[in-house]
A and B are shown apart, each in its own frame.
Chain A
Amino acid sequence: ETGVTQTPRHLVMGMTNKKSLKCEQHLGHNAMYWYKQSAKKPLELMFVYSLEERVENNSVPSRFSPECPNSSHLFLHLHTLQPEDSALYLCASSPFSDLMNTGELFFGEGSRLTVL
């Protein structure tokens, strides 16, 4: 099993659809992250969970809703998205529950989202 697995790898949705992205980590890490990667922009941190508690919500619109049911799984629920939300959504994990010491991030392969 690879360290961090994301599904689906590709998703096309209309603006009125509801869909979810899934992330699973097999590394025994304590923190999990959602990042957005758009063309010509730096990676944008969206959400951080440490020991299953959300500790960061980086001014993300409410049409993105994260869920962390346990330390191995992270979801990003999508509802009434806009075309500008089209991007690569990357999940990552790190060993540290102390978010003052992020250390190395282990990324999944990403979910390529297209909003029509």
Chain B
Amino acid sequence: TQLLEQSPQFLSIQEGENLTVYCNSSSVFSSLQWYRQEPGEGPVLLVTVVTGGEVKKLKRLTFQFGDARKDSSLHITAAQPGDTGLYLCAGPNFGNEKLTFGTGTRLTIIP
């Protein structure tokens, strides 16, 4: 099973600040998904990145897939309390395509 390590594990910042969280692996993934899980809810897909070097923007969220397709980052500009949640990256295992999930980054935005 290919492993996905996310960092930091926990992040607490003030509203209005910028932040970046990371998803890293020693393995190549054909694609990576980012999910956000709000307290008391299930994860919801934010974006899928497919091409090495790809950058996707979702309002204040910018997702980047590494050139070698082994890592990805999520940058949030001017964080809002509504961004609070657990951010999970996930990618299909080579061979069986079952999704492997990362360890998650728990983000708290302080008003």
Contact = CB atoms under 8 A, between A and B. Distances in A.
Contacts of B62: none
Interface string A18-54: 0000000000000000000000111101001000000
Contacts of B92: 102
Nearest to A41: B103
B99 A105 contact: yes
Contacts of B88: 43
Interface string A33-77: 000000011110100100000001000000000000000000000
Interface string B42-56: 111100100000000
Task: Tell me if A's interface is mostly helix, strand, loop or mixed.
Answer: loop
A6 to B, nearest CB: 8
Contacts of A104: 33, 45, 48
Interface string B27-39: 0000001000000
A99 B96 CA distance: 8
Contacts of B45: 104-106
Interface residues of B, number: 21
Given A42-B4, A109-B42, A99 B98 contact: yes
A54 to B, nearest CB: 14
Contacts of A92: 42
B82 interface: no
Contact of A100 (B41, B42, B97, B104): B97
23 contacts: A4-B42, A42-B101, A42-B102, A43-B43, A43-B101, A56-B98, A99-B96, A100-B96, A101-B97, A102-B92, A102-B97, A102-B98, A102-B99, A104-B33, A104-B48, A105-B99, A106-B45, A107-B42, A107-B44, A108-B42, A109-B41, A109-B42, A110-B41
Interface of B: 4, 33, 40-45, 48, 88, 90, 92, 96-104
